[in-house]
Amino acid sequence: MALKDILVGVDPSTAGEGRLKLALNLVRAHQGHITACYIIREKQAGPGPILPGVRFDSGPRVLVSPEASAAAGDPLSTLVLPASREAERAEQVEELFRTELRAHGLSGEWHLLSPGETAIFIDFAKSFDLTILGQLSPEIRSTGFRPDEIVIGTGRPVLVVPYAGSFDTVGKRVLVAWDGTREATRAANDALPLLENADAVTVIFVGARETALAEHHPSVERMVHHLRRHGIPAQTEETLQGDLRISDVLLSRAADLAIDLLVAGAYHHSQLREALVGGVSRELLDHMTVPVLMSH
């Protein structure tokens, strides 16, 4: 099983370039096709709420990351650059993308989208094996697509990469969050192409009570045996939640085990609001420290 068609969302930040490199590494490993969507940063239309460290100059304006501003030579590392500078940045990243394609004999496409074109991106992502997006940074206004909306809207797996840290590869040491639900089943199945070369995979169930551990034990064992039949070195772990949130337990174990990929189902908490994921999913997206593969 291989990932033959990968979509990645890119932006002007260092994290955006990191996602592009991760996507290219996966495409090389699977000898697939890559499509990059560069997300043009949101234009500031006149006076409005000003974020810390943001100033305004005359002319068209586009929000960019602090590192992109610093790279442009702004001594104040402002978050605002002219639209022309944004276009130059997009051309630079596109050239990097095409250079990598030529160097490794890969096929790929390049597209430009704005933050307001979420519906277009969702429709686009439905025809890919995997979509790679970045976690939204809490420090600045969102200028990308919300990973939760993409997961729920597409029904396809989405690999969400933290905005902090460097992640060139995923899938060597993996933590699979398991509770026997449809969403967890879908996520574990969608993760198989990323697990085929894993050194260690832990299937973890986090229960509120001892009775829950006993109840779910057979299900956890079946999933582990399923992964082993695929040649994946999986093992079980069952633990009590205690006073912690389940997301905190998962992230703590991810740190303990030096995990580079966490696999989890994405859940919505209301049939009338399917664009929202709730509980564990939301907390993981807010506080993730490693890449998370989510499916719905």
Per-residue model confidence as pLDDT tens digits over 141-195: 445 688 888 998 999 999 999 998 999 999 999 999 999 999 999 999 999 999 9
Question: What residue ranges in 118-161 does DSSP mark as E strands?
Answer: 130-134, 158-161
The pLDDT score that the predictor gives to residue 104 is: 93
| CA–CA distance, 171 with 173 (Å, rounded to integer) | 6
Tokens of 161: 């990469």
Delineate the domains of the chain, giving CATH numbers in brackets.
5-42+84-161 (3.40.50.620), 173-295 (3.40.50.620)
The 8-class DSSP code of residue 277 comes to B
The pLDDT score that the predictor gives to residue 40 is: 81
In 3D space, the residue among 244, 250, 245 whose CA is nearest the CA of residue 264 turns out to be 250
Residues of the chain with pLDDT under 70: 1, 41-83, 138-144, 267-279
The pLDDT score that the predictor gives to residue 270 is: 42
Per-residue model confidence as pLDDT tens digits over 204-222: 999 999 999 999 999 999 9
Verdict on whether the full-model pTM lies above 0.85: no
Per-residue model confidence as pLDDT tens digits over 80-90: 446 678 788 88
Q: Which residue has the tokens 């094996």?
A: 129
| CA–CA distance, 109 with 206 (Å, rounded to integer) | 41
| CA–CA distance, 36 with 111 (Å, rounded to integer) | 6
User: Which residues, 6+ apart, have CB-to-CB distance to 60 below 8 Å?
Assistant: 43, 82, 83, 84
